[in-house]
Structure 1
Amino acid sequence: MTTRFFCVLIFLAIARLAGAAEATPPKLAVVIAVDQLRADYLVRFRPYFGEGGFKRLLEGGADFRNAHYRHALTKTAPGHALILSGVHANVHGVIDNDWLDRDLWEPINSVEDRGSPLVGINPAELGPAQAKAPEKTGRSPKNFRAATLGDILKQLHGEKSKVFAASNKDRSAILLGGQKADAAYWDENGKFVTSRHYRAELPAWVAAFNAEKRAEAVFGKTWDRLLPANVYEKVQGPDDATGELVNYGLTRVFPKTVDGGKPTLTSAFYSAYDLSPFTTEVLGEFVLRAITEEKLGRHAATDLLCVSFSQIDAVGHGYGPDSQEIMDAMLRLDRVLAAIMAKIDRELGLAQCVFVLTADHGVARMPERMGSAPAGRVKLADLDPVVKKALDAKFGALPSGETWMTRDSSAYHLVPSALKAKGVGASEAAVVVKTALLGVPTIGYAFTRDELLAEPEGTDVLAMARRSYNASRGRDVMFFTKENFLPVGATGSTHATPYAYDTHVPIVFFGKGVLKGVYQEAVGVEDIAPTFAALLGIAPPPLAKGKKLL
């Protein structure tokens, strides 16, 4: 998106403010996104929450219990890009966490920007690949082609409004913050970092926070259950379950030692740390510090605080939604939320603030926990020879060393040089790929580029896939496994499908201007942006597709 076009979008949004109600806006707007928070977690674990976190939001807020993503590729980046923009990937362009750049023919990160180097860490600290190609660690919202509520606030109020985003993941902080955020921070090896897109060096308070080495202080710490073991057994079943992760020194059962499985601190420790609830606690402490240091809620116009907690996602991937680990992680996150809300209440008053709680996607149950129901695991690499065989049979084998396609997540790109060599059109070859995939018993849907380019209408899987498809970045064939057949390895669980276990997420509004209650109507995550905009007394982002819920 060009700078001129982006400014036009913002101008149109501001123009729509004419006639808006002249109410006193909130001092602070808070977006809480929990990565992989299934909607049913808030029901299942509610009896064990404290009074000040999730329960406070649910009992005092507007709880929309039938909220779903209406796009098919339910992943972190597309979800976070939608929350405050109100548009799907067919518009905002963030089609996946990573995707194949068809010009470079190499994978790029959803928030990759080689012109915006990291600030606060040397890329070489992140591993051999990053040391070899440090330019690929640069981060910004460059690939995000939509305006967010934060962008509207900044265009309206400039320095009178502050937009601050923080997360364990880079893409989560950056995409919630939008194009014009004052700050976005994320965790890299226990340090909170940013990029040159935002500033040339860390502010003193962030540098001081990192100098406290809170992550490293976790080394050797024990993660055990907050409540008696029999409570977890009653709610979630046995602690030791087939299919759960054993890695980074973490076993399938409590208690767990967070040390990476090594006697000294190594890179494996940070992987264990990311799986542990201590990473949530440190992010919470960072946010508490930020509220003070950034004077959030104390500027002339509404400030926006965006926080995305990622550990629930890590635990869900490792242990699944039926694990005791996910229950304990949720109970600990509840305490962190309570601390954040308590601080905001003390310093600003919750009645002067507005919150929204949601998630970027859900997660499937592990096949091993589903009894006799049809379920299983699918190794996507096993699809490659099936597709190759079909293309060879139809058009003839390619010379040695040549390849027909590149698999890109749950999709295929056809190699232009191979098509040219055989005199085959991409559309014709895509139909062959689709047919081959649908012949695999574990594949439920496959769509060609030609099918995906149409305007999405309705709620069927094709319409959902169209919302996940972007013409300039799209693949030649997109596919999805059958329900409960997970595109994942031998342990853990995953998401990225159009099924309810991945699309059903909470939406809870709380605070100034919110009429509390339980709402059962079917709503979409695209409805958050226009609803939150109304609560802030501003126009929604100009391309937003959703409806105002309150």
Structure 2
Amino acid sequence: MQMFLKKINHVLIQSAFLCRCLFFLLDTGHAFAQTKPAKLTVVMVIDQFGYRSLQRVKPYVTKGLKFLLDHGVVYHKAIMPHGLPTTAPGHTTLQTGTTPSNHGIIANTWRLQNTKEVAVDDDQKYPTFLKNNEGRSPHNIMVKGISDSFVRSSTSQSPKYTFSISGKSRSAICTAGFLGKPIWFDKDIGSFTSSSYYFKKLPAWLEKVNKKQDLYHNSNVISWQPAFSLQDPAYSAVFTKGYAFSAPGASFINTQFHAKEIIKKTHASNPKNKEKAYGYLELTPHINDYIFDCATACIKEYLPPKSKNSMLLWVCISSIDKVGHLMGPDSYEVIDSLYHLDRQIEHFMRKIEKIVKKEDTLFVLTADHGMAEIPEVAHQKGVLHAKRQQKQELIKELNDTIKKQHGIIDACVDIQAANVYFNQQKIQQKKAAVLQTAKKILQTKEFIKNVWTYYELAMLPVQEDSIESFFKNQLFANRSGDIIYQVAPNCLVDDHVKGGSHETPYHDDVHIPLLLYQKGAVEQKQITQNVFATQLAHTLSYLLQVSGPDIGIATEQLLPGLQGDE
């Protein structure tokens, strides 16, 4: 009976969503009422590109970012409604139009009840290409999204393709969904690859890309030259004293790496030399060229001239996230990466113009999350309560106290993205008491603002779009921890002694850019009302005239600013 009611509820929700879309379609004032869908839709997701970072570089960008800011529909208050924003949840939310409480991707990794760690895309049933002992699939995603809807609307007369090109497997898979085709750059092998879930073998066009981009045969030196002189006002936002708290302790700018010399030494006896070379590459702006070139080759392959084909293409840029974790958002590296990206986006858009007409291409630029300052940097600037707490020290304190009070050894297994996991077998007889003990310890910490057990948070009445609601958005049974906490602003619980992270519900982490542009259709508007990342997939389904994602919330609205009368 309960299952029947759930199905009825799902049908009612979907019906409400379809009726709402029909209302927009009949609205003669809507800019898209008479416009055919784009032949090519490019969604650029810039990992760790917070709105704050965009504002810092906005006065100095002159190329692709500036064009989109000047000519597109710009949403100034776009929010990723997550309490613990990270890569996999953010990308999945953009693609599915719903939150982790529905799509299931609560973090990049989580613990099962048997304490086993699970990575979002791990699946040994489907081996990856060019690499042993690794498998990937979307099996942990619990709902279909816009990528799946787009492919399902394909016909023999008008084929539709979804691809995702990325620097991370989880970004590619979470945006490709079940029916799209994810392709990602693997630093361990220095090539683009995918999974046997999606391909029987790597397509010939991708093998050509890999051969062309082979680092050993085509480049002797990787160098990171700044986009401007380091004395230029474009870098005025850099906090130079922050290098004392960065993981490398020094700048990557104006450095070079003799990749060929390292890779020459690569044999079965020492495979990490090759990983070192490509690991450096993926921190630099150069990796973006690899991704954009791969994306361009994909477009050329599937959108030949005069064809009726259409494509939804996700282009996921990961370099800023990778270097941002090491150096922080106020570093030369992150800010300079954005200036390089500005130029790379323009170059990519110009290449696309040679394949698909401008008016037939819809561009979207957004992010999965932002990033707050490194706590020590914030403290040095005068935010005296800013603090870093070592995760293992916190786990040890929890386990020592639980052992003393309840006689249970190593009860706390792990803390991941503010989810506290316990060994269920060990605490089974005293679970309620153990969780209350752990909760009381966490509540005494100045770097923690709120603490809930899973069930307390699940039953908590919350105001819509409040911080508490963002945490509830990220609850999923048997994946979330037994306890979830909210860190205080400017604080961080982390594995590392230096560098930065996100995973907080505050604006630096959840306030993201969102820009849409299609010549003659979606252009030149500044939207200052609040919007949410969940609205993007539903808006794309409307613009592309395909069915929506699995989860359509009755109160969900399409993104504003796309109506002719606004």
> What TM-score bracket applies, with the shorter chain setting the length?
0.7 to 0.9
The root-mean-square deviation of aligned C-alpha atoms, in Å, is: 2.6
Structure 2, unmatched stretches of 5+, are 1-6, 26-32, 265-272
Aligned length: 518
The one-letter amino acid of 1:220's match is V
Match of 2:512 in 1: 505
Aligned: 1:449 with 2:454: yes
- Identify which range, 13-22 or 63-72, moves more after superposition: 13-22
Aligned pairs (5 A) from 1:151-230 = 151-158=148-155, 160-181=159-180, 183-189=181-187, 190-216=190-216, 217-218=218-219, 220-230=221-231
Whether the 8 Å contact between 1:296 and 1:303 is mirrored in structure 2 is: no
CA distance in 1, matches of 2:343, 2:297: 16
Residue matched to 1:147:
144
Cα separation, 1, equivalents of 2:427 and 2:374: 39
Change in CA separation of 1:539 and 1:237 when aligned onto 2, cut-off 3 Å: same
* 2:438 equivalent to 1:433: yes
Residue 456 of structure 1 contacts residue 464 of structure 1 at CA under 8 Å; is this kept in 2? no
Alpha-carbon offset, residue 313 of structure 1: 0.4
CA distance in 1, matches of 2:451, 2:126: 36
Shift in Å, 1:461: 2.7
Question: Against the structure 1 CA distance between its residues 151 and 185, is the aligned structure 2 distance closer, same or farther, given a 3 Å change threshold?
Answer: same
Spell out, residue by residue over 1:234-267, the C-alpha distance to the aligned partner (whole angstroms, 9 max, x if none). 34243873212328xxx42531123589855612
Provide runs of 4+ in structure 1 moved above 6 Å.
13-19
Does the CA contact (< 8 Å) of 1:162 and 1:299 recur in 2? no
Query: Which residue of the partner structure matches residue 488 of structure 2?
Result: 482
Question: C-alpha separation between the residues in 2 aligned to 1:483 and 1:117?
Answer: 41
Conserved? CA contact 1:78–1:96, under 8 Å: yes
Cα deviation digits, residues 21-70 of structure 1 (max 9, x gap)? 5642111111110000011222221233233x111111111101111111
Which residue of 39, 42, 56 corresponds with 1:27?
Answer: 39
Partner of 1:100: 111
Helix, strand or coil at the partner of 2:124? coil
In structure 1, the residue corresponding to 2:153 is in which secondary structure? helix
Give the letter for the 1:271 counterpart.
G
The answer to whether the aligner puts 1:517 opposite 2:525 as a matched pair is: yes
Q: Specify whether residues 340 and 263 from structure 1 end up closer, same or farther in structure 2 by C-alpha distance, changes over 3 A only.
A: closer
Question: 319-328 vs 20-29, which deviates more?
Answer: 20-29
- The answer as to 2:333 corresponding to 1:322 is no
Deviations 1:356-412 (A, max 9, x none): 1110000111234321113122211111122123323442x23xxx42121141222
2:182 partner amino acid: A
> Which residue does the alignment assign to 1:403?
410
Tell me which residue corresponds to 2:267.
none
Query: Would the alpha carbon gap of residues 439 and 382 (structure 1) be closer, same or farther in structure 2, given more than 3 Å must change?
Result: same
State whether residues 399 and 411 of structure 2, in contact with CA within 8 Å, keep that contact through their aligned partners in structure 1: yes
Tell me the CA shift for residue 526 of structure 1. 0.8
User: Cα–Cα, structure 1 residues 260 and 97, in superposed 2: closer, same or farther, change >3 Å?
Assistant: farther
Specify every segment of 5 or more residues in structure 1 that has no aligned partner in the other structure, as ranges.
124-133
Amino acid at match of 2:257: V
- 2:478 partner SS: coil
SS in 2 for 1:492: coil
Q: Quick one: distance in 1 between partners of 2:81 and 2:18?
A: 28
Task: Indicate the residue corresponding to 2:248 in structure 1.
Answer: 246
State the match for 2:119 in structure 1.
109
> 1:130 matched to which residue of 2?
none
Give me the whole-angstrom Cα distance separating, in 2, the residues matched to 1:187 and 1:260: 17
How far, CA to CA, are the matches of 2:449 and 2:260 in structure 1? 39
User: How far does residue 418 in structure 1 lie from its aligned partner after superposition?
Assistant: 1.3
Determine if the alignment matches structure 1 residue 138 to structure 2 residue 135. Answer: yes
Distance verdict in 2 for CA 1:219–1:38, change over 3 Å? farther
Aligned partner of residue 378 in structure 1, secondary structure: strand
**Range that drifts further, 428-437 or 448-457:** 448-457
Instruction: From the superposition, tell whether residues 376 and 252 of structure 1 become closer, same or farther in structure 2 (CA, over 3 Å).
Output: farther
User: Per the alignment, in what secondary structure is the counterpart of residue 141 of structure 1?
Assistant: coil
Change (3 A) 1:507 1:450: same
For residues 459 and 428 of structure 1, do their structure 2 counterparts lie closer, same or farther at Cα, with a shift above 3 Å needed? farther
- 1:55 & 1:233 partners in 2: Cα distance? 17
Post-superposition CA distance 1:188-219 (Å, at most 9, x none) = 12200000111121111111221234444455
Is 1:122 equivalent to 2:131 in the alignment?
Answer: yes
- After TM superposition, the structure 1 stretch with the greater mean CA deviation from structure 2, 228-237 or 12-21, is 12-21
- Following TM superposition, by how much is the alpha carbon of 1:90 offset from its aligned partner in structure 2, in angstroms? 0.5
Report SS of the residue matched to 1:186. Answer: strand
Structure-1 separation of matches of 2:448 and 2:219: 42
Other structure's SS at 2:240 match:
coil
1:337-368 deviation line (CA, Å, top 9, x unaligned): 11221122232122112121110000111234
Q: Percent identity?
A: 25
Q: Distance in 1 between matches of 2:538 and 2:252?
A: 44
- Once the two structures are superposed, the pairs formed by residues 251-266 of structure 1 within 5 Å of their partners are 251-252=250-251, 254-259=253-258, 266=273
Q: Could you tell me which residue of structure 1 aligns to residue 551 of structure 2?
A: 543
Is 1:271 matched with 2:266? no
Which residue identity lines up with residue 57 of structure 2 in the other structure? F
Cα distance in 2 for residues equivalent to 1:261 and 1:368: 37
Deviation at 1:438, TM superposition (A): 1.4
Report the residue type matching 1:209 in the other structure.
Answer: V
- Residue in 2 that maps onto 1:77: 88
> Using the alignment, how far apart are the partners of 1:239 and 1:496 within structure 2?
24
Alpha-carbon shift at residue 15 of structure 1 (Å): 6.9
- Opposite residue 94 of structure 1, the aligned amino acid is I
1:50-61, aligned counterparts within 5 Å? Answer: 50-51=62-63, 53-61=64-72
Q: Residue 129 of structure 1 aligns with which residue?
A: none
Distance 1:408 1:534, change over 3 A: same
Give the distance between the partners of 1:64 and 1:235, measured in 2 at CA. Answer: 23
Q: Which amino acid aligns with 1:441?
A: E
Write out per-residue CA displacement over residues 297-316 of structure 1, whole angstroms, 9 at most, x where no aligned residue: 96535420111000010121
2:399 maps to 1:391 = no
Is the CA contact 2:113–2:424 (under 8 Å) kept in the aligned structure 1?
Answer: no
Secondary structure of 2:281 counterpart: helix
Q: CA 1:515 to 1:427, structure 2 compared with 1: closer, same or farther past 3 Å?
A: farther
**CA–CA separation in structure 1 for the residues paired with 2:84 and 2:47:** 15
Give the aligned residue type for 2:285: P
Task: Find the residue that maps to 1:29 and give its secondary structure.
Answer: strand
Q: Report the CA distance shift for 1:23/1:504 in structure 2 as closer, same or farther (over 3 A).
A: same
**Residue type matched to 2:454 in 1?**
R
